[in-house]
Amino acid sequence: MKMIRWLQRAVQFSLPSLAVLALVVIFIPSPAAAAIPTDRTFHIEARRFEYAPATLTINPGDRVTLELTATDVVHGLSIDGYNLEVTADPGQTARLTFVASRQGSFRFRCTVTCGNMHPFMIGKLEVGRNTLLWKGITLLGLALAAGMWRLRK
Amino acid sequence: MSLPQEIPWLEKASSAERGAATRQDRAAPGRVNLLRISWLRPLLVSRWPQFLVRAVTLAGFVFAITAGLLGSQVGSHNFAIIFVWIAWWTALKLVFIPFGGRSWCSVCPIPLPGEWLQQGGILEKGRRFGLNLRWPKRLRNSWLQSNGFLLIGLFSALTLTDPRVTGWVLLALFALAIGLSLIFERRAFCSYICPIGGFTGIYARTAPVELRVLDNAICAAHIEKTCFQSCPWGLYPVAFRDSSACGLCMECLRACPKDNIAVNLRPFGSDLTQPGSRTRLDAAFLTLVMLGSAITFAAVFTGPWGSLKSAAFAIGSLAWLGYAVGFLALNLLALPGLFTLTVWVGHKLSGAKLPLRQMIAEQSQALLPLGLMAWIAFTVSFALPKLSYILGVVSDPFGWGRSLLGAAATRWSPDVSGFSSILQVILLFTGLLWAGRVIRQRSWPVLVFCLGYSLTMLWLLVG
Amino acid sequence: MRKEWIARVIVIFLLAAAIGIPAVGWWKRSQGIVIHARMAETGGWTPENLTVAVGQPLHLRLTSDDVTHSFAIGQSDQPAVEVKPGEMTEVTLTLDHPGKYTFYCTRWCSVNHWRMRGIIEVTGQQTTPEAVEPPLYILLGLDIDGDHDAEVVPAQMPSALRGAQFQNMVAAVYRSREYYQTHSPVELWQALRSEPASQPLADQDVWDLVAWIWQSNITPQELSVGQQLYTANCSACHGETGSGNGVFADLLAQPDTENHSVRQTGQMTIRPADFTDPVHILSASPAHLQGKLLRGGMGTGMPYWGPIFTEDQTWALIAYLWSFQFEMEKLP
């Protein structure tokens, strides 16, 4: 009974407590990576307006070498959150090596105007587990629970 | 979204006006009448501030058309593309709609020349011009606007990236608005055709701004109804149940001889939880179209699927036909079908005695905060990485090699990726939380529908 | 009524500015020459023919309407300039000799990139008519369409370093520049094989000697210039490793696509030549390769580089091609 009363009181302050809970979920530190860093090489073909492969999956701490080959016009590649850039002419493979120090999902984008859809030429670099996605799913679960609680009444 | 009955900082802002508070202020709980703020009142009552902003947006619009038609064919270096699809679109989605509802409509340049012709003057009315016909009754709804938005979705990849196409589309909208103003009365274009007006209207129900009558009795006793006579949209403020139709042009309060009209700040989403508010099926459909479009645009423009981008861009090709079929199937079949199903299940479980049509229309209100937050989250990842283009086209609007701001302007490129994905998660969370507070009749299957939608957007944007 | 008129004046003034400023810019822009670059499929250079008087400076403003291009003048030392989408690049050229100059794109911008060429005609009196000597392959009357396979090929890649130890066995006639340019490695090998002096050598030793003789006709500078030219102009089709598998190779190999305008002839392959294939390459002389390079065609998508490369550049490029067949590093 005490528990239920406590719960009821908690629900009365549900919005502030939900906000606090949400902030905790977002800023809680994610567990450190367990995988041993390795060297990886990806061969990426860039054509208008896609990268193949478009999704690269690695572990945090990996030393990554990207070999970028443009197959139609000059393309480039830069990764959100990393201060890197490389451009490749067709027939001239360009290389870029970096250490994936940050965990999460990052978009990489073309840096050389290659036609109309150039601003949307995008690929994905997934470094370890995408903790933000999981935090987002947790938050949506929270929102669902809050909604369910309200609908019960 | 937090929906307190009273907003503390607003209370504080209005406390200076407490002395002048009338009985009407007390009648509207949680509202702050902006017209009671002494420095703001003249800005809203006078036509000049609004006129000056409108004159500038009109010139900017014409400039965008000229830039689109004459300037560089490279979108990222053309004022038309960057200002219309990056700057304006971001402002509309991030500021005008969420905080001002239809506030953009009050300064939108597109209907102005037609309206000025209609009333025979800019600030004062002169000899009227045009046929002034009534808009057909069968079209007095948002079906045309929904279809217009679907049409935009079908051609978006080209329109958003090709300056010439953007120029012609803007010109066509302009011509359509002027033409309809000359044939039909008042703002027929804005109310029933403009696709932007369509979704701005439905989302205005969530916004913290409203225009309302203070005391209905005063209006009932007023025989001339000057507000209705002067409303460019042909609306009667006493009849307002929600904010979706009112374009916030302020003409009624300028015409009201009794000072009986308020422009209120209100809690977010007031129209949604208000018991008397009604939604029609056409608005529900438009709401669903907005959900479907947000998913499609997020997949096409921010996803890593090159073939999808190419398909959306290659208009007329077989691949594009596939994209079109998929896009229409999502918007016309999948989402409406799923939503109807969840409403129907919820309807059965709760045992409510309402017809299904009405249930669909009412429950679709929950999709408004959901869709609004999804659109804002999409805009964050669509437009923020491209903001650096804005200074570039200010410096060289036509891509003709000018450099009005110097080379430094073109080198500014902020990296917003880290902060923007956290923001997107918070936005989608807020959207679902808010939707959960709008759903009626204990219809939890609708909440599950909303969860599914939010998860899809989450995966598309930060996955 | 006064307010109304002020409002009308403001609107008209702003609209006039919104239309007038771009219009004036448009008009001013049409003074002077603006060259628009587009992919060859959608128009190439516009305009593509220019005329200028000899010695007159030619101001050009270059911009691209689609992707990154680059502007250069054939057979000149003028460095290439980048032509970027939506940006203006200014160049001033002064051409001192009358005649026709080819300007061209140096960045691969599609499989038809090399078709992006235009002509600058420099008019004026020719002061001293220069006698133009036809290229070597014409003087020799070579049939550059008639390829034949090498009758003999080395068992392993010939090494100039190994061949150097037999250099005393070679008669001077085989070491001349002229011999190098006009004979294929197979011809040299056969000639050396039949020389009594080299009878004690094994077949592979003779191939090493061929590699050494070839290398002695090639300077390291030539190799490095050749490599740069190859990377920029050839590797998109022939591949970075010379094996004919460049990024456009598959496009060229597709029969009946609009991407190659030349009909398929006989069993001749449409794929770019594989420079690492000894059967195909060792039977060709430098002059033969020069012909293919300058004239192009051959029923393939091979461009004609005659108007682009200088004679030195051509020989440097050919020198580099041999590095796909011979190990040519020098003694340390």
Banded pLDDT at B299 (limits 50, 70, 90)? very high
Q: Distance (Å, rounded) from C-alpha C199 to C-alpha A24?
A: 86
Domain C34-123 is of which CATH architecture?
Sandwich (2.60)
Q: What are phi and psi of A17, to 5 degrees?
A: -70, -35
**B429-443 per-position pLDDT tens digit:** 999 999 988 887 778
Question: Nearest-CA neighbor of B132 among B115, B109, B155?
Answer: B115
Quick: pLDDT tens for B391-407. 888 888 888 877 777 66
User: Which of A 15-34 lie inside 8 A of C, CB atoms?
Assistant: none
**C-beta separation of A95 from A66 below 8 A:** yes
What does the pLDDT look like over A105-144, one tens digit per residue? Answer: 899 999 998 988 998 999 999 998 888 899 999 999 999 9
pLDDT band at A12 (very low <50, low <70, confident <90, very high): low
Per-residue pLDDT tens digits for B62-117: 999 999 998 888 888 899 999 999 999 999 999 999 999 999 999 999 999 999 99
3-state secondary structure of C71: strand
Q: Residues C214, C164: contact at Cβ < 8 Å?
A: no
Q: Are A91 and A66 in contact (CB under 8 A)?
A: no
Total H helices, total E strands in chain C: 12, 9
- By DSSP bridging, strand A122-127 and strand A104-109 are antiparallel
Domain ranges of chain C: 34-123, 136-322
Query: C8 in contact with B at a CB cutoff of 8 Å?
Result: yes
- Give the tokens for residue C59: 């101001």
In the numeric block, which tokens belong to residue C145? 């369409």
Q: Which residues in chain B have Cβ-Cβ distances shorter than 8 Å to A19?
A: 2
Does the pLDDT value for residue C330 go beyond 70?
Answer: no
- Using CB atoms, pick whichever of B51, B59, B402 lies closest to residue C17: B59
Question: What is the structure's pLDDT at B290?
Answer: 94
Q: What integer is the mean pLDDT of C174-200?
A: 89
How many residues make up chain C in this entry?
332
Phi then psi for residue B240, to 5 deg, are: -65, 120
Whether A129 has its CB under 8 Å from any CB of chain B: the answer is: no
Q: How far apart are CA A75 and CA B11, in angstroms?
A: 55
> CA torsion sign, A100 to A102 to A105 to A110?
negative
* Nearest C-alpha in C relative to A94: C240
Min Cα separation B197/chain C (Å)? 24
pLDDT on residue A6:
61
Mean pLDDT confidence for C287-306: 86
Annotate B218-270 with DSSP letters as a single string. HHHH-SS-HHHHH-TT---GGG-SSSSS-----HHHHH-TT--EEEEE--TTH
C-alpha A41/C-alpha A125 separation (Å) is 13
pLDDT digits (tens, 9 = 90+) for B337-361: 999 999 999 888 877 778 888 888 8
Query: Which residue on chain B is closest to A23 by alpha carbon?
Result: B426
Decide if C45 contacts C116 (C-beta within 8 A): yes
Per the DSSP assignment, residues forming a β-bridge with A90 are A70
Pair of tokens at residue B117 = 């012709």
Instruction: In whole angstroms, give the CA distance from residue C298 to residue C52.
Output: 34
- The phi, psi pair for B61, rounded to 5°, reads -65, -45
- Confidence bin at A1 (pLDDT 50/70/90): low
ipTM: 0.88
Give the C-alpha separation, B61 to C242, whole Å: 54
Check whether A67 has a pLDDT greater than 90. yes
Quickly count helices (H) and strands (E) in chain A.
3, 9
Closest chain C C-alpha to A100 CA, distance in angstroms: 28
In angstroms and rounded to an integer, the radius of gyration of the C-alpha atoms of chain C is: 26
Residue B1 pLDDT exceeds 50 = no
Element (H, E) at A124: strand A122-127
* Record: contact B433-A124, CB cut-off 8 A: no
Contact map slice: B 71-100 vs A, CB within 8 A: 74-76
Tokens at C312, concatenated = 């030195």
Q: Quickly state the pLDDT bin for B173 (edges 50, 70, 90).
A: very high
The answer to whether residues B329 and A69 touch, using CB atoms and an 8 Å cutoff, is no
* pLDDT on residue B419: 82
- A113 interfaces chain C, CB cutoff of 8 Å: yes
Confirm or reject contact between C86 and chain B (CB < 8 A): yes
Cα separation, B157 vs B309, whole angstroms: 8
Amino acid at B428: L
Task: Using alpha carbons, select from B29, B75, B51 the residue that is nearest to residue B301.
Answer: B75
- H/E segment holding residue C90: strand C89-94
CA C130 to centroid of chain Cα atoms: 24
Between B29 and B343, the higher pLDDT residue? B343
Using CB atoms, which chains have 3+ pairs under 8 A with C?
A: A, B
Predicted local distance difference test score (pLDDT) of residue A2: 63
Tracing tokens 């740069």 back to the chain, one arrives at C228
Mean pLDDT, chain C, as a whole number? 86
For C10-36, write each residue's pLDDT tens digit: 999 999 999 998 888 888 877 778 899
C-alpha–C-alpha distance, residues B128 and B138, integer Å: 26
